Structure 1
Amino acid sequence: MKNTSKIINLLTLLLFLSLPSFAQDAKPTKGWQNLDLEQDGYLGISTYKAEKTLLNGKTAVPIVVAIIDGGVDIDHPGISPYLWTNKREIPGNGIDDDHNGFVDDIHGWNFLGDGKYTFHYDNKEIVRKFRAAYKADSNSLETRTLKSEIGNKVAALKSQFALISPEYDALMEILKELGSKEPTLEKLRSFKYKSEFQEIALVHLVRGLQSDPEYIENFTDKRNTYKNQIDYYFNVSYDPRRGNTAFSKKKYGNNNVKGLEPSHGTHVAGIIPSVCKNAKLMIIRTIPDGDPLDQDVASSIRYAVDNGARIINMSTGKSLSMNKEAVDDAVRYAMSKDVLIVHAAGNAGIKIEQQTVFPNRYYQKGGLAQAWIEVGASGPKKSNEVLPWFSNYSKQIVDVFAPGVDIYSTFPNNRYKFLNGTSMAAPVVSGAAALIMAYNSTMGAVAVKKLMLESVIKLDQNVNAAGESISFDELSLSGGIVNVFKVFNTLFKK
């Protein structure tokens, strides 16, 4: 066979690239984020314990929580009962009944589109920076440096895509020949492969399905991630806003809050009412597949504040910010209206420093947003893995930790799914804050944050943080994990 050695080398690389684990730990109890360490053995935030022993018989009020994310499946039965509804707007009449500049904004707003146009993919901020530099001087040192950096990134992505594509193509061939997207292990074991690539794909598929029922979906997502980065993230020729003058206006967008791929936002949204049944979810579609535009983030914060949100949940981050001042002004506006902002710390598994992740609480011209909570993710058990490998941490930047590993929540098309991330931890904190406000409606945002940080569960143990053994209380400002039972125990003692 021609190029046999080349194929063997490629197969070897594929083996190390995509070989799944042979065993998978059992998933924790669904809803463990609400359980209690002493009663249930899980490092949850003790919601159920608080409800049974401290909140029973007490009156709560609805609390509007804005979710700035990538879209939400608002028809999901785990979300639809908790939606915020703009009662000043008449659904579907095409008129801005409440005169707020947004037509038919019944459950929120979509800033990733205008009129009937909605987009999903967007550029990385470095591409926007390159365009601005190119427009100013196409041959400047900055332009050439950015072009080179983007080119190197694309070359690396294409190399990775070339490695994974043969196995992916072989996998699709196998599924097509079997006539099923969800083949049984028996059918797979009897399948007669016809090429080296089909052989390696078959081995990985059998092993993968034994430990991960969603292996095919996850492997497809892995392949598509490389493709999307090449086609959209770092493609200087792609701009979803090009030629649409509406995006330069102060008010733009439409009411399609679901968008084209609402998986992330749907999962985030379902976590909040799992903690606080009195939460009313205002859906604001702002985060594309790519880096969010600062203008969209700023507009979203202002929309949330102007329409009555008391808490804003944001699960987004990027390494550059072209128009941070616009976001800063919107954050200042939220602070002036006593709105709490809860933000995910990120999933790079690193110690973060000031101004390394955007948006953040630090104003470009000095000072910081006091009613801002930066959230890291914690695991379900009191062990060395209570700090998951992916969660960012920092004694100076991260305020608190909350459950963010194997969180079971809503997923599009009436499904539910376990997911990991600080994006899962942030809505746990948003739900906890909503629960506190629901039973203490006059308590301000800064006071809620202060109480939450003073009432954490602390762990007397070390964890592995980026290869170092660090005391858990050194990972955040509060040194612990959010706990609503301790919060209410403190409140009701006063």
Structure 2
Amino acid sequence: MYLRKPLYAVASALALYGCGSTSIVSTPVDRIDNVPLKVADLTDDQLKNWFHSDLLTDTIPGMSVDKAYTLLKGKKGSKIIVGVIDSGIDINHEDLKNVIWTNPNEIPGNGIDDDKNGYVDDIHGWNFLGDINHETLEMTRIVRGGDTSNPDYASAKAAFDEKYNEAMSTKTRYEQLLQMLHQSDAAIKKETGKETYTKAEVEAIEAKDESMQQFKGFILQMFSYADSISEIENDLKDGIKHFAGQLNYNLNLEYNGRKILGDNENDLSDAPHGNNNVIGPDLEQSLHGTHVAGIIAAQRNNGVGMNGVAHNVEIMALRAVPDGDEYDKDIALAIRYAADNGAKVINTSFGKDYSPHSQWVRDAIIYAASKDVLIINAAGNDSKDLDKNNVFPNDQLNNGPEIADNFVTVGALNVKYGPSMVARFSNYGKINVDVFAPGVKIWATAPNNEYRFLQGTSMASPAVAGVAALIRSYYPKLTASQVKKVLIQSGLTPNTNVTVGDPQTTKPFAEISKSGTIVNAYNALILAERMAKGK
């Protein structure tokens, strides 16, 4: 799944320390490439709202969301249901509780399938995972199966071995770094006589022996990655926890989380399964889905937290993505559930390299298209060219024709406009990625009425889903296919080369997605109005 783990500030220390213009809508933003770029760091408030900013006004590659709302004054939109297929959602969050979908045809708690949709007491959606929190990766399942005749077995085995060895070695190095941090920190505290010290105070230490020279050098190097030693310590602990989780669950050939659920994951007809607890058994594990939901539709202008991209939205919670790889069965059923129960937009911020039942998901995408449902999909966080690497779900295989015209794949942008504006982790592809949108340092809702910065194409996708919901709210006669065209054709087209994949690879921005555009809410509403009027 595309759960973008924290970018551990000291990751690079492992090696260093020796242990454009618009396509359709004519607006002034075509002058952006001639505007001096912002060089000052963003303030905290600017950073928390950057993905709503306007590129021309702020030289920040946001989506002009705040500007878009100036076009909606005096207009009344209709409610749009957005299905969020994810890790679970904290539906009691202060900024989400008033925008959560409630099934109007189901009586809570009576143990009866009142609306006869196959799901009992599905009040706010459905939890297809039941009490599962952790799962293996799909490559682990393939290797565990031991079927060497499987055409994916050899590549899955090679990928598994590489990832397992990387997790083992990186976890060990992080543990070594943490131990050295504790030793160095204790020595510096003793030398300065302070529990909390500054970089300048460390620089002022006259190291009288080799040990102190090493401690001083190490701490100064850590200060180059963060503003405090406690921040470094937390990053290292998070890193150790992350890789330990991979080894204990994602890459553990003996672990099988699915047995908790008790269904046959290889039988699509063995359903329904799961329960109606859309938060999930562990509130903290709903972080990813809660964050995604907030980006789309956190209640606007309520005086708390943050503003979602769209108002007039109800979030349908569909829990189908564990800590590990999702099952094709759950995703296919979740898409169909959303389409059958009124969703007009679905966000899919997850993905994997292997998909044994990918046809089930593609059939569900086609089914959603028949119900006029638009799916917004995260491109993935592996720095890959998707035209050369299949990642699932997708709407075309091996660069073939699209199976339906209701699927939009989104890459992630960084905060600063210019050559480095594509997030270094983002996948890209002239054929298989449609658009780009903000996906780095995105501030949004987290469980227990909290808010956090997260990043990934997982965050870029719901930003676009919010724009899609806004269009569908105010221009309900536009079809899913038409809204897809609006999103693609109204975006900004930077005339610049950008770094993608690795520091040595640069491409024209126009060549890293099908549209070559950055989604822009303001322009999208203008084009939607024209299209709605038949112009």
Q: TM-score of the superposition, structure 2-length normalised?
A: 0.78
Which piece of structure 1 moves more, 42-51 or 364-373?
A: 364-373
Residue identity in the other structure for 1:488: L
Distance 1:457 1:13, change over 3 A: closer
Aligned 8 A contact 2:113 2:119 in 1: yes
Matched, 1:154 2:164: yes
Shift of residue 58, structure 1, vs aligned partner: 0.8
Aligned to 2:288: 264
Aligned to 1:5: none
Aligned 8 A contact 2:362 2:403 in 1: no
Residue identity in the other structure for 2:106: E
Aligned 8 A contact 1:167 1:200 in 2: no
Aligned to 1:461: 496
Matched, 1:476 2:526: no
Aligned to 1:70: 87
Any unmatched runs of 5+ in structure 1?
A: 1-11
Aligned 8 A contact 2:106 2:115 in 1: yes
1:325 to 348, 359, 379: 359
Where 2:436 maps in the other structure, the secondary structure is: strand
**CA-to-aligned-CA distance 1:371-421 (integer Å, 9 cap, x gap):** 100101123333222212121111111111111122111112211122221
- Aligned residue pairs total 463
Matched, 1:37 2:74: no
Where 1:385 maps in the other structure, the secondary structure is: coil
CA distance in 1, matches of 2:79, 2:195: 47
Where 2:257 maps in the other structure, the secondary structure is: coil
Shift of residue 270, structure 1, vs aligned partner: 0.5
Aligned to 2:257: 240
Aligned 8 A contact 1:63 1:309 in 2: yes
Aligned 8 A contact 1:319 1:356 in 2: yes
1:345 to 351, 361, 379: 379
Matched, 1:433 2:468: yes
CA distance in 1, matches of 2:526, 2:260: 56
Residue identity in the other structure for 1:45: M
Aligned 8 A contact 1:351 1:393 in 2: yes
Aligned 8 A contact 1:347 1:390 in 2: yes
Aligned to 2:196: 185
Which piece of structure 1 moves more, 121-130 or 158-167?
A: 158-167
Residue identity in the other structure for 1:158: M
CA distance in 1, matches of 2:181, 2:448: 25
Shift of residue 301, structure 1, vs aligned partner: 0.7
Matched, 1:122 2:135: yes
CA distance in 2, matches of 1:213, 1:247: 46
Any unmatched runs of 5+ in structure 2?
A: 1-9, 18-39, 203-210, 298-307
Where 2:143 maps in the other structure, the secondary structure is: helix
Shift of residue 29, structure 1, vs aligned partner: 3.3
Residue identity in the other structure for 2:120: V
Aligned to 1:293: 327
Shift of residue 351, structure 1, vs aligned partner: 1.8
**CA-to-aligned-CA distance 1:34-73 (integer Å, 9 cap, x gap):** 2212333322222222211x21101101100011111122
Shift of residue 142, structure 1, vs aligned partner: 8.2
CA distance in 2, matches of 1:322, 1:463: 35
CA distance in 2, matches of 1:141, 1:69: 29
Which piece of structure 1 moves more, 258-267 or 295-304?
A: 258-267
Aligned 8 A contact 1:328 1:363 in 2: no
Shift of residue 426, structure 1, vs aligned partner: 0.5
Aligned to 2:275: 254
Aligned to 2:341: 307
**CA-to-aligned-CA distance 1:331-364 (integer Å, 9 cap, x gap):** 1111111110100111122321166101101269
Distance 1:184 1:462, change over 3 A: farther
1:86 to 90, 96, 103: 103
Q: TM-score of the superposition, structure 1-length normalised?
A: 0.84
Distance 1:38 1:199, change over 3 A: closer
Which piece of structure 1 moves more, 434-443 or 457-466?
A: 457-466
Shift of residue 200, structure 1, vs aligned partner: 9.0
Where 1:417 maps in the other structure, the secondary structure is: strand
Which piece of structure 1 moves more, 99-108 or 119-128?
A: 99-108
Q: Say what the alpha-carbon RMSD is for the aligned residues.
A: 3.4
CA distance in 1, matches of 2:323, 2:217: 30
Matched, 1:489 2:526: yes
Residue identity in the other structure for 1:121: H
Over the matched positions of the two proteins, sequence identity in percent amounts to 39
Aligned to 2:483: 448
Alignment of 1:98-117 (within 5 A): 98-113=115-130
